[in-house]
């Protein structure tokens, strides 16, 4: 900043101010408002000294004001000015108190208040709002009450801002009774006081009390509307938040940025895309599109509502993306099940050298878990160890356990779990569930026993994991015992998931009478998953009559689910009733329904590769099929004969064999064999239940190639090693 002030130096007596009119017209004050950094400010300060302005308390207070309130200012410099002043007045004290109330050390504001009192200066209505703000930030209610007494003695309770800040202090410290008492005793209930109390009730989750006050307000400003809308959103009552926003629109109150952020958050949670579109139009009409907080909220809203295309368009339209932008885009893809896209955005974020935070990692770890992206998951584990070890963020460690378990690395999951200093119920649930998925039923049940012995009460999710462990291992008697314990000892009413585990356990054990008795005695209507599991059990045990009954109920609940028709078709095929098989196939074709294609993924060098049945789209397709031919040749030499009964179509046996040999899991394994060193463990993830033929073939492949192959299907994990599987052929 160039300073050229051809003016006579003014000689003022120290700490004695000349007429304000003379000071206010001095050119140095206009230059002060133009400062864009501390270097400019220091130049102006030099001129204040040069022209004798530093001897006036008015000028010194203006210098302090810049340091305290301007984004380019520095509180430490303000202190140096204050400490060099012989006799600071109450305005200067107020400025320092204000500065500390806005800083990371608000307790020093109270220290300076004590200095103000001992200096002989008298506090005024500008002193107390910042003191109460400091008491709120440090949660010191007792000091707040002491200062409240000072306000009362000084007769400042009628001041609008002092009154509102006092209410706000009590409310933010959770002392709602005191906040309400201050409000009720006031004869001047202005909008600011109403809003402070409404906001306090909302933050405490007492939205009923907040709404009652809101309805009493004679005049509602945008701040009070926002306090109420955000209050509903904070306690999860999103529909009511949106209804209130509609009321706000009807009375033509112009929403603030804070209001729009609360509304977009509510839209995201309830899938209200129509209102979200209106908010977007309003933002664009009022040229708020450069506000990155609003754009980030729009990205989050669109992605959570399933419109990831629009979310991505807004994301790419940001000239400068902040960390929140990346987080909401990654989180949106994960929320909608676009896991590969989530990983792609995360990789791009890494390439642009943007450090993730805990929110990023909590969004990307589920994508790693779903895709079996273990290498990336390991990288994240190292990153967490480096940056978050000291914070002990239990959610991060729990998510890591889940990732390792679902990527087939159950030993690593156990290591993370055992290393947790503080184990939460969520971490126990994830670990028990992981052990259950891997078929380690007895270890899962032992962990459940330890958990309860340590005094931690299981919840209904815990019992889903426990019953799943029994189900995967076929432990019928233990399953019954835990089901009864859940009801009688812990007083939990069974949910569909609990019934589903038990009915699947009983059905797969061939105990159909007991399974049907349970279905008929359920207090809630069975869903498609329950009838589907029963239908699957009927296929295993070739129970045609009950299978038809289960299918009939499943068709009523899910008429457009092709899987139900395929299961029934398989039962008919197993019974040799090809006319019924043909009838179902014709019906599916006429309705345009197709079975969900089998898809298997494998991660190589942090890149996830996906394969469909008979897939030839991979760039290494020729090499993959050469390896597949070699695998089939070695399987044949080892005595493996494909079980063509699993292909329920009337076609030549040779064609049936070819169809089985090109299942997606075999293609993924072949790719893994040509892409990794001998002895490397292969981990694959399939979206459907692994078929019996592939299960037998994979057992033999593990022995022929001396590889451990860990496969995750829709229901569980299979650890293939040396010609056998951890599931003991029960899955």
Residue 503 is part of a domain; what is its CATH number? 1.25.40.10
464 domain-assigned: yes
Q: Can you tell me whether residue 258 is helix, strand or coil?
A: helix
Asked whether the beta carbons of 563 and 595 are under 8 A apart, the reply is yes
In this prediction, residue 183 carries a pLDDT of 76
- Residue 152: C-alpha distances to residues 113, 181, 192, 207 (Å): 16, 14, 19, 30
Asked whether the beta carbons of 228 and 200 are under 8 A apart, the reply is no
121-164: pLDDT as tens digits:
899 999 999 999 999 899 999 999 999 999 989 988 888 788 88
Asked whether the beta carbons of 182 and 145 are under 8 A apart, the reply is no
Asked whether the beta carbons of 294 and 288 are under 8 A apart, the reply is yes
Closest CA to 171 of 180, 162, 159: 180
First-last CA distance in the chain: 77
580 domain-assigned: yes
In this prediction, residue 5 carries a pLDDT of 37
- Helices then strands, counting H and E runs in the chain, come out as 39, 6
Same domain, residue pair 536 and 659? no
The structure tokens listed for 491 are: 């007083």
According to DSSP H, which parts of 174-291 are helical? Answer: 176-185, 191-203, 207-216, 222-234, 238-250, 257-270, 273-285
Cα 239 from chain centroid? 20
Whole-prediction pTM: 0.73
Domain boundary among 560, 591, 622: 591
- Distance from C-alpha of 92 to C-alpha of 118, rounded to nearest angstrom: 15
262 domain-assigned: no
Domain boundary among 534, 560, 591: 591
133 domain-assigned: no
- Distance from C-alpha of 559 to C-alpha of 575, rounded to nearest angstrom: 24
- Distance from C-alpha of 564 to C-alpha of 580, rounded to nearest angstrom: 14
- 340-347, Cβ contacts within 8 angstroms, sequence gap of 24 or more: 340/367, 340/371, 340/608, 340/610, 341/308, 342/367, 343/367, 343/368, 343/371, 343/373, 343/376, 343/608, 346/376
- Distance from C-alpha of 504 to C-alpha of 506, rounded to nearest angstrom: 6
160 domain-assigned: no
Domain range for 705 is 599-725
- Distance from C-alpha of 225 to C-alpha of 202, rounded to nearest angstrom: 12
* Helical (H) or strand (E) element with 720: strand 717-721
In this prediction, residue 12 carries a pLDDT of 44
Which residues does the chain have with pLDDT short of 50?
A: 1-17, 20, 648-658
Same domain, residue pair 678 and 705? yes
- Distance from C-alpha of 593 to C-alpha of 134, rounded to nearest angstrom: 64
Q: How many CA atoms lie within 13 A of 430 on its CB side?
A: 26
- Distance from C-alpha of 234 to C-alpha of 236, rounded to nearest angstrom: 6
- Residue 93: C-alpha distances to residues 74, 88, 117, 294, 583 (Å): 16, 7, 10, 37, 89
Closest CA to 581 of 612, 546, 635, 544: 544
Domain boundary among 591, 612, 634: 591
Same domain, residue pair 456 and 569? yes
Same domain, residue pair 606 and 719? yes
Asked whether the beta carbons of 371 and 338 are under 8 A apart, the reply is no
* Helical (H) or strand (E) element with 252: none
Same domain, residue pair 585 and 610? no
Asked whether the beta carbons of 144 and 109 are under 8 A apart, the reply is no
Same domain, residue pair 458 and 561? yes
Same domain, residue pair 456 and 586? yes
Residues in the chain: 731
324 domain-assigned: no
In this prediction, residue 660 carries a pLDDT of 54
In this prediction, residue 28 carries a pLDDT of 65
Same domain, residue pair 566 and 531? yes
Sheet containing strand 599-604, edge to edge, reads: 607-612, 599-604, 682-686, 709-712, 717-721, 724-725
Same domain, residue pair 606 and 573? no
Same domain, residue pair 453 and 542? yes
Total number of domains in the chain? 2
Asked whether the beta carbons of 539 and 570 are under 8 A apart, the reply is yes
- Residue 697: C-alpha distances to residues 146, 520, 646, 668, 683 (Å): 79, 40, 13, 13, 16
- Number of other residues whose CB lies within 10 A of the CB of residue 399: 27
Same domain, residue pair 470 and 568? yes
Residue 437 CB partners (closer than 8 Å, separation 6+) = 405, 406, 468, 472, 712, 716, 717
Residue with tokens 């190292």, as numbered in its chain: 382
Closest CA to 75 of 59, 60, 97: 97
Same domain, residue pair 427 and 572? yes
Q: Can you tell me whether residue 607 is helix, strand or coil?
A: strand
Asked whether the beta carbons of 289 and 324 are under 8 A apart, the reply is no
549 domain-assigned: yes
194 domain-assigned: no
* Helical (H) or strand (E) element with 719: strand 717-721
């Amino acid at each position: 900043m160039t300073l050229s002030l051809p003016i006579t130096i003014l000689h003022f007596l120290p700490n004695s101010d000349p007429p304000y009119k003379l000071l206010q017209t001095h050119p140095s004050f206009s230059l002060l408002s133009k400062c864009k950094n501390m270097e400019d400010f220091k130049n102006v300060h030099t001129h204040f000294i040069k022209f004798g302005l530093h001897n006036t308390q008015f000028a010194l207070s203006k210098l302090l004001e810049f340091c305290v309130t301007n984004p380019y200012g520095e509180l430490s410099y303000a202190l140096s000015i204050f400490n060099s002043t012989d006799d600071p007045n109450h305005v200067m004290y107020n400025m320092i108190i204000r500065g500390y109330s806005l800083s990371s050390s608000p307790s020093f504001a109270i220290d300076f208040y004590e200095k103000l009192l001992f200096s002989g200066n008298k506090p005024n209505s500008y002193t107390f709002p910042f003191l109460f703000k400091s008491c709120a930030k440090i949660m010191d209610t007792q000091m707040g009450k002491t200062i409240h007494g000072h306000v009362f003695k000084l007769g400042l309770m009628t001041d609008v801002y002092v009154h509102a800040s006092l209410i706000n202090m009590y409310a933010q410290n959770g002392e709602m009774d005191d906040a309400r008492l201050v409000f009720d005793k006031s004869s001047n209930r202005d909008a600011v006081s109403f809003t402070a109390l409404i906001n306090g009730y909302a933050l405490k989750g007492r939205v009923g009390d907040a709404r009652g006050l809101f309805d009493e307000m004679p005049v509602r400003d945008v701040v009070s509307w926002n306090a109420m809308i955000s209050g509903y959103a904070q306690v999860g009552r999103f529909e009511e938040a949106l209804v209130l926003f509609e009321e706000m629109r009807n009375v033509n109150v112009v929403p603030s940025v804070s209001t729009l952020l609360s509304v977009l958050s509510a839209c995201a949670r309830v899938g209200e895309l129509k209102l979200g579109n209106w908010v977007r139009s309003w933002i664009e009409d009022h040229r708020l599109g450069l506000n990155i907080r609003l754009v980030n909220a729009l990205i989050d809203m669109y992605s959570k509502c399933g419109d990831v295309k629009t979310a991505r368009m807004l994301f790419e339209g940001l000239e400068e993306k902040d960390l929140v932008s990346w987080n909401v885009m990654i989180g949106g893809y994960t929320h909608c099940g676009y896991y590969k896209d989530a990983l792609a955005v995360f990789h791009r974020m890494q390439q642009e050298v943007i450090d993730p935070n805990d929110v990023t990692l909590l969004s990307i770890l589920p994508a790693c878990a779903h895709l079996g992206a273990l290498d990336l998951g390991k990288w994240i584990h190292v990153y967490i160890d480096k940056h978050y070890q000291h914070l002990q963020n239990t959610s991060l460690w729990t998510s890591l356990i889940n990732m390792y378990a679902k990527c087939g690395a159950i030993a690593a999951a156990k290591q993370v779990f055992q290393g947790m200093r503080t184990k939460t119920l969520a971490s126990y649930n994830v670990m028990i569930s992981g052990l259950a998925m891997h078929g380690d039923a007895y270890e899962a049940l032992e962990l459940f026993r330890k958990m309860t012995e340590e005094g931690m009460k299981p919840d209904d999710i815990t019992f889903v994991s426990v019953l799943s462990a029994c189900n995967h291992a076929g432990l019928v008697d233990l399953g019954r015992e835990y089901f009864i314990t859940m009801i009688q000892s812990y007083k939990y009413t069974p949910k569909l998931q609990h019934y589903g585990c038990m009915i699947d356990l009983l059905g797969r054990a061939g105990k159909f009478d007991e399974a049907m008795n349970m279905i008929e005695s359920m207090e809630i209507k069975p869903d498609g998953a329950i009838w589907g599991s029963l239908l699957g059990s009927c296929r295993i045990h070739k129970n045609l009559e009950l299978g038809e009954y289960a299918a009939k109920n499943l068709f009523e609940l899910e008429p457009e689910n092709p899987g139900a028709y395929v299961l029934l078709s398989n039962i008919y095929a197993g019974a040799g009733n090809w006319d019924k098989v043909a009838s179902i196939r014709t019906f599916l074709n006429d309705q345009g329904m197709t079975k969900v294609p089998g898809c298997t993924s494998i991660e190589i060098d942090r890149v996830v590769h996906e394969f469909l049945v008979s897939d030839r789209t991979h760039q290494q397709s020729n090499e993959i099929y050469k390896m597949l031919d070699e695998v089939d040749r070695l399987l044949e030499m080892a005595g493996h004969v494909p079980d063509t009964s699993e292909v329920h179509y009337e076609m030549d046996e040779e064609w049936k064999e070819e169809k089985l040999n090109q299942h997606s899991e075999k293609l993924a394994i072949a790719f893994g064999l040509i892409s990794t060193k001998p002895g490397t463990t292969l981990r694959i993830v399939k979206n459907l239940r692994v078929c019996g033929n592939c299960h037998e073939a994979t057992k033999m492949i593990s022995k022929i190639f001396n590889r451990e192959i860990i496969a995750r299907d829709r229901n569980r994990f299979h650890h293939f090693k040396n010609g056998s599987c951890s599931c003991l052929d029960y899955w």
